[in-house]
Amino acid sequence: MYKKNLLVFSNGEKIGDGLIKLPFLNEIKKRLPDYKLIWITDKGKTVYNHELKNISNQFIDEILEQAKLSPFFWKKISSSFDLEKRKFDYILDTQKAVSRTIALKRIRSKFFISSSASGFFSNLKINKIKSSKRRYYLEDLYDLLDSIKKDDIDTNYKIPIPQNLYQLLKKIFKDNFSYIGIAPGAGEANKIWPIENFIEVGKFFQTKSNKIVFFLGPQEQHIKKKLKDIFPESILPEEEIFGFSGPEIVMASTKYLKCALTNDSGISHMLSTNQCPIIKLFGPKNANKFSPKNNKIINISSTDFGNNDIKSIKKEYVINKMQKIIEDY
């Protein structure tokens, strides 16, 4: 039986955001084991109620998805849920849009924590560490949680993968082969390195007796036939394993990879979860903020080549970096 409750507000999570925040969920439960954790989103959906539900169930006790909060006092707080009668010990606001914070503030609570408007709405002090560098997204979330209870961060957290999934993958990944992962997609066009470059990289490592493993999202399904024609012995794990979610299959597959090449995408976050050596390509976005903290990730940014265009990243440079990783594997 829970003694207290905590309402955490976000604007929703896509797969990448959801994976990034899993250590934060783990940290909440570690520090506040007697708290019921309720996750609420405004207009957006959250993968914690869909693709990552099997994992998030270990942390989140209740999800209020697409609550559609209103900042206007003459309207219901939420058009989806009856929140007028509920009261929370703590409300933790993880976003910074003032209008959403005002709407959230209408929900009754003993303590309200938000960095929106430089903490103006918060009734607990947020001890934010000052830094001249762009901070990793999770660090801002930990600052908010520190206002409730401060503790050392669990840096050893690993996303749990079902053991029977590994048993199935062993039938695909043979011990006498080396495997290179390639994830050529992303959600935005300016984050996608040309597919021709990925193909050239794949061809190079195939000549070095490596098998290529492709990880494709919904937007890359149209190139699947082309890739199989060029790489007939390649593996697409999600096409061969059933009964598990796509994220679980991708994350489990990293155990068998020598290295992976990816754009800044949701799949890149899946590949980053289990210490798989990764080359991650960035265009206009800040790598320090959005790339997971993992000492086996090498970020290559278009800014290294003097601009924000991901197409400017040279494939020869990428191949050399991957070769170095494989040599040190």
Indicate if 263 and 116 belong to the same structural domain. Answer: no
C-alpha 275 chain-centroid distance = 14
Which percentage of the chain shows pLDDT scores above 90? 70
- Please give the residue range of the domain that contains residue 215: 163-327
Does residue 309 share a domain with residue 171? yes
3-state secondary structure of 152: coil
Residues 197-254: pLDDT tens digits? Answer: 999 999 999 999 999 999 998 889 999 999 999 999 999 999 999 988 889 999 999 9
Q: Note the pLDDT of residue 176.
A: 85
Confidence of residue 135 (pLDDT cuts 50, 70, 90): low
> Are 36 and 118 members of one domain?
yes
pLDDT, tens digit (0-9, with 9 covering 90-100), for 67-117: 999 999 999 999 999 999 999 999 999 999 999 999 999 999 999 999 999
Mean of pLDDT over the chain? 90
Model confidence at 59: pLDDT above 80: yes
Average pLDDT estimate for 270-293: 77
The β-bridge relationship of strands 278-282 and 297-301 is parallel
- Across 90-126, b (16+ Cβ under 10 Å) vs e yields bbbbbbeeeebbbbbbbbebeebbbbbeebebbebeb
Q: What is the pLDDT of residues 181-193, one digit of tens each?
A: 999 999 889 999 9
- Which CATH number fits the domain that encloses residue 217? 3.40.50.2000
Residue 132 pLDDT: 44
Residue 156 falls within a domain, yes or no? no
Give the pLDDT of residue 187. 85
Q: Residue 2's pLDDT band (boundaries 50, 70, 90)?
A: confident
Same domain (yes/no): 190, 85: no
Q: Are residues 303 and 203 in the same domain?
A: yes
Q: Residue 49 has what DSSP assignment?
A: G
Could you tell me the pTM of the whole model?
Answer: 0.82
| CB burial of residue 127 (10 Å; 0-12, 13-18, 19+) | exposed
In a domain, 109, yes or no: yes
Band (pLDDT 50/70/90 cuts) for residue 304 is: confident
How many angstroms separate the Cα of 77 from the Cα of each of 6, 89, 96, 107, 272?
18, 18, 19, 7, 38
Least confident of 126-135, 162-171, 194-203, 213-222: 126-135
Q: Is residue 40 part of a domain?
A: yes
Number of domains in the chain: 2
Same domain, 181 and 315: yes
Q: Is residue 155 part of a domain?
A: no
How many other CB atoms are there within 10 angstroms of residue 44's CB atom?
A: 14
Do 170 and 64 lie in one domain? The reply is no
Model confidence band, residue 178 (pLDDT cutoffs 50, 70, 90): very high
* Predicted pLDDT at 326: 86
The 8-class DSSP code of residue 128 comes to P
